Amino acid sequence: MGLLSDPNRRRALISLLTRLNAPICVVCYMAGVAWFMGLAFEPFTLRTYMSENAMGSTMVEERFPAGEKALATGREFAAHKKKAGGMPVDWLVKTMQSRGLEVFTQRFSRTLPFPDENKERYMVKGTNVYGILRAPRASRTEALVLSAPCTPGDNNNQAVGLLLGLAQYFRSQVFWAKDIIFLVNEHDLIGMQAWLEGYHHTNTTGMDWSPLQGRGGSIQAALSLELSSDVITSLDLVLEGLNGQLPNLDLANLFYAFCQKIGVLCTTQGKLQRNDWDSVSGYSHAVQTMMLMVLKQASGRSWGDHGLFLRYHIEAATIKGINSFRQYKTDITTIGRLMEGMYRKLNNLLERLHQSYFFYLMPSLSHFVSIGYYMPAFGLLAIILLLRALDLWVQLTAPPPRTEDGVVDPEQMSSPGVLSVLTPLVISHLTGVALYTLPIRFQEMAVEHFPVSETEAVVLTAIAVYTAGLALPHNTNRLLSGGGTEQGWKVLKLVAVLYLAVLLGCTALINFSLGFILAITLVPVAAFVTPHVPKFLSAFIMIVLSPACTLLFSVFFFQELQEMPISFLDGWMLYLSVISQGILDHCLYGSLVYPLIALLVYPCWLIFWNILFWK
Amino acid sequence: MAAPLTLLLIVAVTIRAALYRSSLADLISERVEVVSPLTAWKRVVEGLALLDLGVSPYSGDVFHETPLIIYLFHFLVDYAEITFMLADVITAVALYLTVKEYNKQVFRKQKYALEADRYPLDCLELIRSPKEMFYIPLKVAMFYLLNPFTILSCVAKSTCGLNNAVLSLFILSTVKGNVLLSAIFLSLATYQSIYPLTLCASALLYLMQRQYIPVNFRRASFWWFIVQYAFMYLGSLFVIVCLSFFLLGSWDFLPSVYGFILSVPDLTPNIGLFWYFFAEMFEHFRLFFLCVFQINVFFYTIPLSIKLKEHPVFLIFMQLAVISIFKSYPTVGDIALYMAFLPVWSHLHRFLRNIFLVCCVLLTCSALFPVLWHLWIYAGSANSNFYYAITLLFNVAQILLVSDYFYAFLRREHHLCYGLYLKRKDGSEATLVLK
C-alpha cells in the first residue's frame, strides 16, 4: 500500500511509466513473443507424469487375442455398409446383440443452415447404434464410452471391427466396474452431438433426434477410435476439442504410458518425438508441434469425434491409426491390447479425472507446458494495453497545474461529450451484429442475384460485410458534427484499449491459443494507432493485422507446419472453406469462435480503425 | 428537471421490460453474482408454493425471505415483473429527491460559511457552484437505473431491489428530516436484512444536526432524542415482527431468516468473502471466524461515526458500502445502491488517487466472473480457487474505492479549514500523506 498511498513514490512511478512508455511496450512485446517461443525448449517444460493414483500404481495385464477376427468383422462391416449405402443398422444391431450387449439405436436428422461442401452434406439423416456392456462388478452408476465413427467410403472399417472385437472380449471379463458403451456414430460430429444430447437430455442446437432407450451411468471418460488400415505404423493422439477445450492431461499420460509399455510408436499432431532437444532442428521440431497444437486449439473446432464430450465434463480423446511408409508395423491385436489396457485403467478410476492439468500445451507427447508457464507470455502482451491505457489516462487528466499528488485542474477535464465516444462504439458493434447475422440470413437472396452456390454466398457475404465495415469511420465522423476533438479520440482509445484488454483476457482464459494469437496481432495495432500517424502506411498495417488477415496467415502457416505447402490460389480456396466451416461449427455444435470474432473482436478492431481516421 | 427524469424512467423501464421478454432473463436469474440464497426469486416461488399448500414456507430450508415479502408476493405474484420495475423506479426517485434536498443543504451551509469568511482565500476553487450541482440528482438516478448491476438484479427478480427501495426511502425520509418515517423505514430495512441496523448511527447524527441538537453526552436533549428515536425504531420493529408472527402463526422465520444471515450455512459461491473461507475451514473454528467476519460489518460504524459526525450523509454512503462488501450474502444489487451515490461526490474527483486502477479492476472482475464460473462449473477445467481469487480482487477494489473516497472527502475538509496550498514551516510546499 505504500506505493499506492505515498504521493512522491506514486508520482515517480507514473512519470517513469509515461516517459518510458513506448520502450517498455516494445520490450514487453518482444519478451512476450520470446517467452512463448521459449516454451517449446525442453529444459523449460515439464515431463508428463501420471497424477491419478487410481491409474498410476496398479498394474494391468493385456491379453486381447482376437485381432484377426476383428479385422474379419471389419471387412464384413464394410461389405454390409456398401450394400446398405450407409450405416448397416440391422447388421450392427444383430452383431452387437450376438456379442451379448444391450443394443439400442437412435435416429437423428438435421438440416444444415447451408450446404457443407467439404463433406458434401445438407440434409443429414442418420442412425447411431450403441451397445451397453453392463458392469458386473459395481452398481452401474458410471460408464465409459468407446466410439468409432461410421464414415462413407472405405474408411474406419477396421475401427468398427476392433470395437466389436473388444466388445466381445470385454464381455467375457468379470472385472468391469463401470458400464462400457460401444457406440458407432454416423455422420461423425453431428451423430455424436445427437447421441450426447440424447444421453444428457439437453438440446442446445435444435437438432431432431429420437430419445435414447437405454442409458448407462454418468460417463467418466471416452475414447474415439479411427483406424483405416489393417496394420499401422503409429498412433496419433488428438486432444483439441470444441472451443479449444482439452481433456485432463492424465488421459494423454495414460495413452503415452501404454504406448511405451506395449511398444507402439505414438505421435501428437502427427509429429514423432525427438530426443535431440539441444540441436536447432530438434528445437524447431518441438516448436512446430506446439504451434500446430496452438493453431488447432485456436480454431475452436473439434478435431476428432471426442471434442463434443468435453462440453459435458467428460474427458475424451481421439486415437487415430496412421499407416505411413515406415518399415516397422503394428498389427491390430496390439492396438486391441492397448485399448484394453487403457480401459482397464480407466475402469479403476474412483472419481473423475481431475488430478492433472486441464490447461496445457504439448511440444511433444512426453512434455507439456502448464498454464503457469504459458500465461506470462500472454500477460506480457496484455500489460502493454494497460500501460497504454495508463498513459492515456495520465494525458487526459494531466495537462497539469499539478500542485500535489493527483491534484488536477478541473478546467481541463472538459469532457468530450458522451455522444462522440458512444457513436463509434455503437456503430462498430452494429457492424459486428451485421457480420454475425447477415451471411446466413441473406444466402437465398445472394444465390438469386449472383451466380454462386449457397456456401460461397455465405462466405462472400461475410467477407463483403467485413470489408464494408472499413468504410465506416468516414461516415461516423460525418454523422458527428464537431465531435472530433483531441480529447475525443483519446477517450475513445482509452475505452477501446481497456475493452480489448478485458476481451483478450477472457478469451485467453477460455482458449489460450486464440487469445494469444489475437493478442499478437491486435496489441501492436492498439498500441500505436493515433490519428497522427501516417495514414496510408498505418491503414495498410492495420489491415494486415486485422482478424481476417490473421486467419488467412494462420491457414498458410498451418499448411506450412503440416509440411503441405500450397499455392496462393489453393490457399485462398482453403481460406474460404475455413470460414464456412467456422460458421457451420457455430451453427451445428455451438462453437464460440465465430460469434466472438464477429460480435466482439471485429468491432473492437473497427474502433481502432475509427481512431486512425479521426478528424 | 422533471422531463429528463421521466425520460430516464421510461428508458430504464423499457430496457428492463425488453430483457424480461428476452431469453437472457432465465440465464441472468441463475447467476450467483446476481441472486443469493436470500434473494433468489426461485426460492420465493418455492416459498409461495409451500404457503399455498398450507405448509410453513420455512420448512425445507429453501426459502429465507421475510414473511412480509412472501405475503406481498402472495398477492402480487402475477405482477412480479411490474413490482420489481416499480421498486427500481421508487429507489431512483427517492435517491433523486434525497440528493436534491441534500445539495440544497450543502449549498446553504456553504453560503453561510462564505458569508462568515470561514474558508481560507485560496480555497475558492473548492467551492461548489450551483451550476455543477444542478445535474447531480439526475446523474444519481441515472447511475442507479442504468447501472448494469441494477438492471441484472431487476431482471433476475432478486428481492434485493425491494430492500434497496426500502433503504432509499429511509434515506429520503431521513434527509427530509422526518423522524418517524425514518425510524419506520429503518426498522423495515433492518427487518429485511439485519445489517441496515448500523445506519441507525448516521440517521441519528443527521437528524440531530438538523434539529440543532449538539452531540454531547452530558446534555439531556441528546439522550432524550436518542430515546425518542430508539423508541420509534424498536417499536415499529416490534410491530413488524409481531405482524409477521400473526401472519404466519409461528416463530419459524426468526432462525430461518436471521439465523441464516448470521450463521451463514449456505456456502453457494457469491461475490462475497464468506463462502470460500467457511467451506475450507475446520468446523471447530467456525463460530470464532463467524464472529470475526460478522463483526466487520458492525464494527466500522463506531470509528466512521466519530470521524464523520459532521457529515452524516457521507457516513450513510460509507456504511452502505461497508455493508455491501462485508455482508454474508452480497449481490451486485447491493453494490449498485452505494455506487448510485458516486456522482454526489463528483467534486472529490481531484483528490481521488486510485480511481483509474480501481475502475479497471472492477471492470475486469465483472467480466471475469462469468468466464471463470463457466470454466469451473461447466468446462470443469478451472476450480473454485480461480473464482475466489476474482471475488477477492473485486472486494479489494471495492474497499480501495471506498477508502479512496473517504480519504478524498477528509482531504477536502482539511483544505477547507487550512487552505489549499499548504506550506511547511520553512515555506516549501507540503504534501498530505495518509498514514
Cα–Cα distance, A484 to A137 (Å, whole number)? 75
Q: Which pLDDT does position A411 carry in this prediction?
A: 41
Q: How far apart are CA A349 and CA A333, in angstroms?
A: 25
User: What does chain A come to in residues?
Assistant: 615
What average pLDDT does the segment B196-206 reach?
A: 92
Beta carbons of B379 and A7 less than 8 Å apart: no
Q: Kindly indicate the confidence band of residue B435, based on its pLDDT and cuts at 50, 70 and 90.
A: low
Please count the other Cβ atoms lying within 10 Å of the Cβ belonging to residue A370. 16
Query: Which bin fits A417, alpha (ψ -120 to 50), beta or left (φ > 0)?
Result: left
Contacts B381 to A, Cβ<8 Å: 245-246, 358-359
Residue type, A303: W
The single-letter code of the amino acid at B252 is D
Instruction: Report whether B88 contacts B163 (CB < 8 A).
Output: no
Which residues in chain A land under pLDDT 70?
A: 1-6, 57-58, 398-417, 473-484
Q: How confident is the model at residue B123 (pLDDT cuts 50, 70, 90)?
A: confident
Per-residue pLDDT reduced to its tens digit, A25-59: 999 999 999 999 999 888 888 888 888 877 775 57
**B375·A510 Cβ contact <8 A:** yes
Given B360, B367, B431, which is nearest A506 (Cβ)? B367
What pLDDT does A416 receive? 57
Hey, CA dihedral for B379, B380, B384, B385, is it positive or negative? negative
Q: What percent of chain B has pLDDT over 90?
A: 53
Return the residue of A nearest to B404 by Cα.
Answer: A5
Query: How confident is the model at residue A278, as a pLDDT?
Result: 81
Check residue A53 and give its pLDDT: 78
Instruction: Pick B132 or A253 by higher pLDDT.
Output: A253
CB of B78 within 8 Å of a chain A CB? The answer is: no
CA distance A588 to A115: 12
Helix H, strand E, coil C: the string for A281-341 is: HHHHHHHHHHHHHHHHHHHCCCCCHHHHHHHHCCEEEEEEEECCCCCCCECHHHHHHHHHH
Q: What is the pLDDT of residue A275?
A: 81
Angle between the N-to-C axes of helices B160-176 and B312-326, in degrees from 0 to 180, rounded to the nearest 10: 160
Query: Which pLDDT score is estimated for B188?
Result: 93
Q: Long-range contacts: A88-95, Cβ < 8 Å, 24+?
A: A89/A127, A89/A129, A92/A129, A92/A184, A93/A129, A95/A164
Among A413, A389, A407, which Cα is nearest to B357's? A389
pLDDT at A483: 52
Taking CB atoms and an 8 Å cutoff, what residues of chain A touch B429? 403-404
- Grid cell 463434443 is found at A308
Alpha carbon of residue A139 to chain centroid? 36
In percent, the amount of chain B with pLDDT more than 70 equals 97
| Nearest-CA distance B363 → chain A (Å) | 8
A238, HSE (Cβ side, Cα atoms, 13 Å) = 21
What strands, in cross-sheet order, belong to the sheet with A46-47? Answer: A46-47, A367-370, A360-364
- A359·B349 Cβ contact <8 A: no
Please name the member of A245, A393, A501 whose beta carbon is closest to the beta carbon of B381.
A245
Does residue B308 register a pLDDT over 50?
yes
| Strand, helix or coil for residue B27 | helix
Convert the pLDDT of each residue in B218-267 to its tens digit. Answer: 888 889 999 999 999 999 999 999 999 998 888 888 889 999 999 888 88
Q: What is the DSSP pairing of strand A234-238 with strand A315-322?
A: antiparallel
Angstrom distance (rounded) from CA A562 to CA A555: 11
Q: What is the mean pLDDT of residues B180-184?
A: 93
CA dist A370 to A28, A293, A295, A454, B216, Å? Answer: 21, 14, 17, 43, 64
Tens digits of residue pLDDT in A413-442: 445 567 777 888 888 899 999 999 988 888
pLDDT at residue B420 tops 80: no
- CB-CB: which of A4, A393, A506 is closest to B368? A506
CB-count exposure of residue A153 (10 Å: 0-12, 13-18, 19+): exposed
The residues with which A352 forms a beta bridge, in sequence order, are none
With b for 16 or more beta-carbon neighbours within 10 A and e for fewer, the A86-125 pattern comes to: ebbbebbbebbeebebbbbbbebbbebbbbbbebebeebe
In this prediction the pTM is 0.89
Query: Does residue A606 contact residue A529 with C-beta atoms inside 8 Å?
Result: no
Question: What's the pLDDT at B321?
Answer: 94
Q: What does the pLDDT read at residue A379?
A: 93
The DSSP annotation for A221-259 comes to: EEEEEE--SSSBSEEEEE---GGG----HHHHHHHHHHH
Residues of A with CB under 8 A from a CB of B: 4-8, 10, 245-246, 310-311, 313, 352, 354, 358-359, 386, 389-390, 393, 403-408, 410, 413, 498, 501-502, 505-506, 509-510
